[in-house]
């Protein structure tokens, strides 16, 4: 494992970023406490502003499939704005950059509340523009702030507890997401009016502004600022010439593209293909989150043992199998199989989010965390965003113009998506092995949940 600045820590409390480049034990504990609070409360905010909610809100406001696909792709398309975040880290530090990005992204979310106030006889593009502008800002400021994530987490964790800490936060976030989403489903079932969506977005954005303030208080050393000073050309050169990082660059992009092609378009298929109501569609999002929560718990138990690479491969393969399911989806809606694929989709998506960061933090040198993480996220995000907006939105728009509709249109889309996995899966398989189990052994462990439960009872998660 690569050395990192939080392994040997000072025994006395000191100011963050004091000479020596390490955090005190007290600072590490404070940082972990604040990030846990962020994860818990941000889970509520994210649940109410996640893709499914925005998809349903956009459809309710008259946006077509292509515009909806663009909206959900903003989260990836805006990743190049992490360059702005890199510059901000030099000036204000990683934690403040992360916190400021989260605060401003939620201020942007408030813009979307204005769409229903547009007069009914006004052209549709006014409502579309308002939602797309708010959605763009919501994604753009996330990208600016997210560049601070990896260096902050790297400083407040060690090689021995990183997997458990990351997965523990996923557990907290997905648990609160589940609770919040259940509440929204119950509200929408009884009051499915547009003003309810507006109130939910307003509450979620206000809470998101608060957690941005929480993030800005996380202690850090001067290492992230020094790392952020490395010119982008040098970052690109280092990543490209370090074989392990170059492979991870392609694999990270493949992983993000994999769930971008599946998760949001499955929700659109439920709504526009099978004509489910808003609260019925959100029930399947609840199942997705349940899968994500399960993945968070499982990763927390096994990731440090199994290694992130085998899990990464498994999760991408599962998403490919889900694409095959939707490629042959029946004309009549089948509840049980759909529940299973939404659960597995959530399990795989959240698993990918956890293990890619885990692999990166184990593989990268601490001095490279800011620039390398930024470059990997920019490239993977741009790839996933272009696939979602251009491939996804473009194909759906073309199919609609060609006269296809209903379930058949989405079957054709997912056949194209399934073909894309012939490229995505090999890109993930090729990343370098770290300290890890054989893939077959990892698969067998995942198929024996009683063994995972036994491990969880013996070790627990933090």
- 16 falls within a domain: no
Note whether residue 454 is domain-resident.
yes
Per-residue confidence (pLDDT) for residue 275, from 0 to 100: 85
Whole-number pLDDT of residue 203: 95
Inside any domain, residue 10: no
116/159: higher pLDDT: 116
- Encoded tokens for 128: 């579309």
Residues 375-390: pLDDT tens digits?
Answer: 887 888 788 878 777 7
Confirm if 336 and 344 have CB atoms less than 8 A apart: no
pLDDT of residue 369: 65
Instruction: Provide mean pLDDT across the span 329-350.
Output: 92
**pLDDT at position 166 over 70:** yes
- pLDDT at 323 exceeding the cut of 90: yes
Q: What is this structure's pTM?
A: 0.71
Q: What angle do CA 356, 382, 288 make, to 5 degrees?
A: 55
Q: Could you tell me the residue range of the domain that residue 222 belongs to?
A: 25-459
Give the pLDDT confidence score for residue 316 in this predicted structure.
96
Section 200-213 average pLDDT:
94
Label residue 19 by pLDDT band (50, 70, 90). Answer: very low
In this structure, what CATH number is given to the domain that contains residue 369?
1.20.1250.20
Task: State residue 205's pLDDT score.
Answer: 95
Q: How many domains does the chain have?
A: 1
Q: Tell the residue number behind the tokens 């992230």, with chain if given.
A: 224
Does some domain include residue 12? no
Whether the predicted pLDDT of 162 surpasses 80: no
When pLDDT is cut at 50, 70 and 90, the band that residue 370 belongs to is low
Nearest 5°: the CA angle 443, 446, 450 is 140
Is pLDDT of 50 > 60? yes
State the Cα angle at 368 between 362 and 370, rounded to 5°: 100
Asked if residue 15 is part of any domain, the answer here is no
- 78 pLDDT above the threshold of 80: yes
Q: Look at residue 204 in the predicted model and tell me its pLDDT.
A: 94
User: Within a domain: residue 1?
Assistant: no
Confidence (pLDDT) at 47 = 84
* Residue 8 domain-assigned (yes or no): no
* pLDDT tens-digit readout, 118-133: 998 889 989 999 999 9
DSSP labels for 391-419? IIIHHHHHHHHTT--HHHHHHHHHHHHHH
What one-character-per-residue DSSP string does 83-119 give?
HHHHHHHHHH-HHHHHHHHHHHHHHHHGGGGGGGGS-
Does 11 score more than 60 pLDDT?
no
pLDDT at 433 over 70: yes
Q: Is residue 339 pLDDT above 90, yes or no?
A: yes
Q: Cβ(100)–Cβ(162) under 8 Å?
A: no
Query: Which percentage of the chain shows pLDDT scores above 90?
Result: 33
Q: Is the pLDDT of residue 7 over 70?
A: no
What's the whole-number mean pLDDT along residues 423-445?
Answer: 90
Sign of torsion over alpha carbons 132, 392, 182, 58: positive
Of residues 139 and 5, more confidence is placed in: 139
* Closest of 144, 117, 133 to residue 70, by C-alpha: 133
Give residues with Cβ within 8 angstroms of 310, minimum separation 6.
Answer: 436, 437, 438, 439, 441, 442, 443
In a domain, 307, yes or no: yes
Counting beta carbons within 10 angstroms of the beta carbon of residue 422, is it exposed (0 to 12), middle (13 to 18) or buried (19 or more)? exposed
Q: Using alpha carbons, select from 221, 176, 173 the residue that is nearest to residue 35.
A: 173
State how far Cα 117 lies from the chain centre.
31
Contact 48, 184 (CB under 8 A): yes
Percent of the residues in the chain that have a pLDDT greater than 70, as a whole number: 93
Q: What is the mean pLDDT of the chain?
A: 84
pLDDT value of residue 212: 94
């Amino acid at each position: 494992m690569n050395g990192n600045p939080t392994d040997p820590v000072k025994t006395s409390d000191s100011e963050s970023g004091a000479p020596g480049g390490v955090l005190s034990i007290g600072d590490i504990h404070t940082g972990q406490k604040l990030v846990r609070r962020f994860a818990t409360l941000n889970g509520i905010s994210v649940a109410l502003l996640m893709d499914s909610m925005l998809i349903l809100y956009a459809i309710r406001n008259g946006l077509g499939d292509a515009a909806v696909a663009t909206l959900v792709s903003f989260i990836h398309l805006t990743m190049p704005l992490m360059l702005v975040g890199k510059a901000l880290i030099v000036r204000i530090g990683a934690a403040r950059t992360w916190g400021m990005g989260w605060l401003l992204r939620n201020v942007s979310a408030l813009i979307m509340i204005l769409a229903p106030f547009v007069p009914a006889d006004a052209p549709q593009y006014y409502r579309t523009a308002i939602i797309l502008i708010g959605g763009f800002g919501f994604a753009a400021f996330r990208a600016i702030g997210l560049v601070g994530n990896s260096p902050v987490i790297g400083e407040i964790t060690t090689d021995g507890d990183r997997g458990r800490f990351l997965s523990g936060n996923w557990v907290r976030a997905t648990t609160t997401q589940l609770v919040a989403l259940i509440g929204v489903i119950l509200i929408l079932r009884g009051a499915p009016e547009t003003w309810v969506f507006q109130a939910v977005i307003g509450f979620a954005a206000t809470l998101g502004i608060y957690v941005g303030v929480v993030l800005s208080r996380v202690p850090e050393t001067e290492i992230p600022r020094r790392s952020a000073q490395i010119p982008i050309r040098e970052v690109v050169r280092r990543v490209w010439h370090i074989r392990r990082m170059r492979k991870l660059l392609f694999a990270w992009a493949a992983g993000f593209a994999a769930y971008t092609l599946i998760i949001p378009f499955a929700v659109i298929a439920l709504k526009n293909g099978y004509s489910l109501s808003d609260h019925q569609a959100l029930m399947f999002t609840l199942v997705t989150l349940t899968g994500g929560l399960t993945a968070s718990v499982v990763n927390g138990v096994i990731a440090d043992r199994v290694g992130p690479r085998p899990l990464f491969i498994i999760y991408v393969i599962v998403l490919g199998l889900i694409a095959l399911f939707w490629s042959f989806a029946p004309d009549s809606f089948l509840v049980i199989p759909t529940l299973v694929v939404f659960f597995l989709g959530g399990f795989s998506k959240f698993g990918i989010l956890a293990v890619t960061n885990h692999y990166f933090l184990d593989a990268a040198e601490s001095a490279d965390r800011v620039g390398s993480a930024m470059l990997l996220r920019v490239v993977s995000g741009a790839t996933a965003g272009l696939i979602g907006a251009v491939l996804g939105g473009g194909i759906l728009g073309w199919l609609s113009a060609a006269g296809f509709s209903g379930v058949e249109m989405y079957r054709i889309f997912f056949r194209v998506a399934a073909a894309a996995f012939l490229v995505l899966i090999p890109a993930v398989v090729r990343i370098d092995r770290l300290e890890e189990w054989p893939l077959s052994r990892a698969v067998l462990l995942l198929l024996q949940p009683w063994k995972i439960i036994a491990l969880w009872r013996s070790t627990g998660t933090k």
